[in-house]
Structure 1
Amino acid sequence: MEIKVRIPEAIKAHVDRPDLDIESLVLDLLISELKLDPDTEVKAHAELAAKFLEEGLKMIDRDPVQACEKLYKAAEEAVKALTLKQLGDIARRVRERGRWRTDDFFEAVSELRRVYGDNIRRWWDTAWNLHVWGFHEAKATRRYVEERIEDVKRLVEMVKGLEG
């Protein structure tokens, strides 16, 4: 489902920045407000991971820097889904706080490594590299992104079965 929301100009000036992902923010707020069951929450994050992956793949040729951020967001949503499914303590802490922080992702990946093996850490590290070097430092080239795509794809593949 796609819903359009009109944002007042006074707020738009604060949210119209490349480092803010409105879609993930709105999803997290809706999940929190609606008090959705964990399975629905996992499915929502898995669906968003697949969507961001698809968008990132389409952007590589025309805007590799933005592609990096979409691919990172795909990995981030995949880690959220896996964390919610496997790591109750971290999931509870995030719910209580109302948002994810960077340290939550790194702690989650460290714990998920025990469940899924070492590859998940490497795949996350690749996504983090895309986020920092490729997006924030704006150093991404098409080749740079293409060399890292498979790791992000594998991470997102892990959550495809969680969509239902």
Structure 2
Amino acid sequence: MEGLIKKAEEYDIDINDLIIDAISRKDPKGAINLRIELAKKYIAEAEDYLKKGDAVQASEKAYKTAEEIVKALAEKFNIPEYQQASKEGRWYTYWLASAVNRLTKDLGWVLNGWNSAYILHVWTESFLTLIEIFLYLFIINQFCGETTET
């Protein structure tokens, strides 16, 4: 089993996505809830890494939080980007960005949460201070909370 997972990772295949997509076929609402729970797990991990002073890992977990939130919302509203990702069996960054733009039309708060996470994802190595990361993390945490209420 470990060999299978390592091989999937070599090909940049997200095991969580595969499992959640399989669950979604039988229980769409359950899959959405799983993505939200995964986002909550990632944000908690991001906060733990930040407390330890690990800016790189905190930033990556924050980005994973936003990624799961966008996927959950895309599935909930059954937008074209979700349909395409389901058809292809994976999400690409440009579909996530397109989904954010589409979702923002009805849920204005999506853009701020996504942009904050994307900044952390892209600029991880650019020596953002822990305070700056904390501020972005605060916004992403709100993003996660808004999703839970939607």
- Alignment TM class, shorter chain as reference: 0.7 to 0.9
Q: Superposed, which structure 2 residues align to 1:105-120 within 5 Å?
A: 105-117=96-108, 119-120=109-110
Alignment-derived partner of residue 64 in structure 1: 55
**AA paired with 1:110?**
N
Residue pair 2:59, 2:133 contacting (<8 A) in 1 also: yes
Select between 44-53 and 25-34 the one with higher mean Cα deviation: 25-34
Alignment-derived partner of residue 147 in structure 1: 135
Residue pair 1:109, 1:121 contacting (<8 A) in 2 also: yes
Residue pair 2:66, 2:144 contacting (<8 A) in 1 also: yes
Alignment-derived partner of residue 32 in structure 2: 42
CA RMSD after TM alignment:
2.3
Q: Superposed, which structure 2 residues align to 1:23-34 within 5 Å?
A: 25-34=14-23
Count how many residue pairs are aligned between Structure 1 and Structure 2.
147
Residue pair 1:56, 1:70 contacting (<8 A) in 2 also: yes
Gap runs ≥5 in structure 1: 1-5
Aligned-pair identity (%): 31
Residue pair 2:8, 2:15 contacting (<8 A) in 1 also: no
Cα deviation, residue 59, structure 1 = 0.7
Alignment-derived partner of residue 121 in structure 2: 131
Residue pair 1:69, 1:130 contacting (<8 A) in 2 also: yes
TM-score by length of 2: 0.85
TM-score by length of 1: 0.79
Gap runs ≥5 in structure 2: none
Show structure 1 runs of 4+ deviating over 3 A.
10-16
Q: Please give the alpha-carbon distance, in whole angstroms, between the structure 1 residues aligned to 2:115 and 2:44.
A: 20
